[in-house]
Structure 1
Amino acid sequence: MKLDKFTLAQNMAFLISIPPESNLAKLLAFCLSTKVRENTTGTKILEMTYELMENPSKLPYWTQDIMGQDLDYTTEEWEALGEMGIKDANQFMNTLWEELENLSL
């Protein structure tokens, strides 16, 4: 994947605008803590993640699937998952959608 400078700047601005205590920030921190196997394609990860967007109630299963991609559950992954504080997957994702709607870029 080749990103140009504007795309990188746009993504960085998006990340900077996210409040650190938000569900969105917690989900992204989880994503950054995970690692994938060399033979797991970006397309596969995108497919798995899009499925989460379509079925937010599957968040607990998605996190386990993502963590298990490299067949190694790390302390960092478990900590990031714990920081998410998921008690109700639908509520977590509904709050996340509200946070996204309220971002001003």
Structure 2
Amino acid sequence: MNLDKFVLAQYMAFLISIPPESNLAKLLAFCLSTKIRENTPGTKILDLTYELMENPSKLPYWTQDIMGQDLDYTTEEWKALGEMGITDANEFMSTLWQELQNLRL
């Protein structure tokens, strides 16, 4: 993948715009804490993640699938998962979508 400077700037601006206490920030922190095996194609992760976007109620299963990609459940992953505070997956994702709509880029 070849990212140019403008695309990188867009991603950075998006990340800077996210309130740190938001569900979106918590989900992204979880994503950053996870690792995948070297031979796992990026398309597999994209497919798993797109499935979550289509079926938000599968958030608990998705987190386990993502954590298990490298066959090593780390302390950092468990901590990030716990900090998400998921008690209702649909509610968590609904709040996340509202946060996305409220971002000012």
Same fold by TM (over 0.5)?
A: yes
- Give the Cα separation in 2 of the matches to 1:35 and 1:66: 8
Alignment partners' CA distance in 2, 1:44 and 1:82: 24
Alignment of 1:42-53 (within 5 A): 42-53=42-53
Unmatched tracts of structure 2, length 5 or more: none
User: Which amino acid counterpart does residue 104 of structure 1 have in structure 2?
Assistant: R
Aligned to 1:77: 77
Regions of 4+ moved over 4 Å? none
Deviation at 1:39, TM superposition (A): 1.1
Q: How does 1:86-97 map to 2 (within 5 A)?
A: 86-97=86-97
TM-score by length of 2: 1.00
TM-score computed with the length of structure 1 as normaliser: 1.00
Match of 1:4 in 2: 4
Gaps of 5+ in 1: none
Distance 1:63 1:31 in 2: 9
